[in-house]
Amino acid sequence: MAKEYSGSPKPHHIESKRKRLTYIVGVSGLCILFYVLGAWQTTPPGPVNPSGESGNKLACNIENSGSVDGQASSGSSAALDFESHHQVAMNDSGPAAENIPPCDMAYSEYTPCQDPVRGRKFDRNMLKYRERHCPTKNELLRCLIPAPPKYKTPFKWPQSRDYAWYDNIPHRELSIEKAVQNWVQVEGDRFRFPGGGTMFPRGADAYIDDINDWGAYLLKRDVITMSFAPRDTHEAQVQFALERGVPAMIGIMASKRLPYPARAFDMAHCSRCLIPWNKFDGLYLIEVDRVLRPGGYWVFSGPPIHWKKYWRGWERTREDLKAEQDAIEDVAKRLCWTKVIEKGDLAIWQKPLNHIECVKSRSVYKTPHICKGDNPDAAWYSFDLNTLFPS
């Protein structure tokens, strides 16, 4: 068995250590060289201090540097200026911000483009006088609409669903005209909304159990609704909804499209809204069809639905109510809607997933017209229904 010597290192170990030492020395030398070159290139020539150091050092010398504005420093105790010195110059020659004054308190419930006095000057055909009509430029108000004099912060949700301050909507008309419907009641300094209505005297919750949808009460069921109502003799219908935390807009189905793009809603609901659905060649149901998504639902209650029970209370003849419902059914059929159910006070139709088959059936149903080439998203009063369907 061979015996190894233990007295001196092996030749290959010595060679390895030499290479490692040479590498370390070489790298260190390069680092020192680059540092000296960098300092020499960065440091400009300057006067020599008595200590033999250059007057302009690579590092910041607080004692010799003076302030950031170039002013001489009085000594090592000089305070540093940390304020911003890069500011955007303001153009003082531009127009000053306009100071808009508040309107007279008489305008506390003014709605732009909705002036009842002005509206009465317009045609009453198709309720055009109830649509919003913007004044001319020289008639525009140049003031800020004030809140009612005793306005209070609205109740927080979900309490706002059932209550609103009377001072925020100082109108008793609805509580008087709709007293038998149990829709709204005045209780001291507030309104209370029991959840009633013409077609749901048992309350909104009971009505929802029938259609599974309705107004503010749907929020607790994770369904968001948009209320759409005119400003009429009942006053401030939309403001009632807004105070309760429910999205709402002033509007009416008259001669203009609704202010929504096509296929905007899963469901449209009308409860005794008194819209002449069967008239004008069915254009109002065509508009409902436009804003419904494919497969969406139209839920309808009120005259003429369930006319056999209510015809005396509605002060109309059986023949008149039956003829109106038959006409509505006919328009829905021509739009290829499917009637899902009619039970009690409710009737529900469903829009088809597409209108391909419906368009093919035009050889049978010539009307109502399903427009071709028209932009279905055109809304916001940019399209006049009456131009396509003149009365």
Q: Is pLDDT larger for residue 63 or for residue 111?
A: 111
Where is mean pLDDT largest: 56-70, 181-195, 299-313, 358-372?
A: 299-313
What is the rounded distance in angstroms from the CA atom of residue 17 to the CA atom of residue 33?
24
Give the pLDDT of residue 329: 95
What is the rounded distance in angstroms from the CA atom of residue 312 to the CA atom of residue 310?
6
Q: Is pLDDT larger for residue 290 or for residue 205?
A: 290
Burial of 203 (0-12, 13-18, 19+ CB in 10 A): middle
What would the mean pLDDT of 296-304 be, rounded to a whole number? 91
Helix H or strand E segment including 208: helix 204-211
Q: What mean pLDDT, rounded, does the chain reach? A: 74
For the chain, the structural domain boundaries read 102-146, 253-391
Cβ contact 155:165 at 8 Å: yes
Q: Is pLDDT larger for residue 177 or for residue 228?
A: 228
Q: Sorting pLDDT into bands at 50, 70 and 90, what band is 366?
A: low
Which CATH number does the domain 253-391 belong to among 3.40.50, 1.20.120, 1.10.275, 2.40.50? 3.40.50
Give the pLDDT of residue 298: 94
> Which two three-digit tokens encode residue 164?
């609103």
Cβ contact 287:257 at 8 Å: yes
Amino acid (1-letter code) at residue 287: E
* Residue-wise pLDDT tens digits, 40-51: 555 444 444 444
- What residue has token string 């507030």? 190
Give the pLDDT of residue 120: 85
Helix H or strand E segment including 187: strand 185-187
Q: Sorting pLDDT into bands at 50, 70 and 90, what band is 231?
A: confident
Q: Is residue 265 over pLDDT 90? A: yes
> Which two three-digit tokens encode residue 131?
């649509």
Cβ contact 282:367 at 8 Å: yes
* Residue-wise pLDDT tens digits, 351-362: 998 877 777 665
3-state SS string for 270-305 = EECCCCCCCCHHHHHHHHHHHHEEEEEEEEEECCCC
* Residue-wise pLDDT tens digits, 7-28: 444 555 566 667 776 767 676 7
Give the pLDDT of residue 195: 66
What is the rounded distance in angstroms from the CA atom of residue 176 to the CA atom of residue 2?
121
Give the pLDDT of residue 70: 41
Q: Is pLDDT larger for residue 73 or for residue 184?
A: 184
Q: Sorting pLDDT into bands at 50, 70 and 90, what band is 222?
A: confident
Q: How far apart are the first and last CA of the chain?
A: 121
Q: Is residue 327 over pLDDT 60? A: yes
Give the pLDDT of residue 304: 92
Give the pLDDT of residue 317: 94
* Residue-wise pLDDT tens digits, 49-97: 444 443 333 233 333 333 434 444 444 455 766 676 666 566 666 667 7
Cβ contact 246:225 at 8 Å: yes
Q: Is pLDDT larger for residue 367 or for residue 114?
A: 114
Q: Sorting pLDDT into bands at 50, 70 and 90, what band is 216?
A: low
96-117: b or e for each residue (b if 16 or more CB lie within 10 Å)? eeeeeeeeeeeeebeeeebbee
Give the pLDDT of residue 320: 94
Q: Is pLDDT larger for residue 212 or for residue 281?
A: 281
pTM: 0.61
Q: Is residue 288 over pLDDT 80? A: yes
Cβ neighbors of 149 (< 8 A, separation 6 or more) are 105, 108, 167
What's the DSSP call for residue 137? G
- The sheet that has 292-301: what strands, in order across it? 265-271, 292-301, 346-350, 338-343
What is the rounded distance in angstroms from the CA atom of residue 275 to the CA atom of residue 284?
8
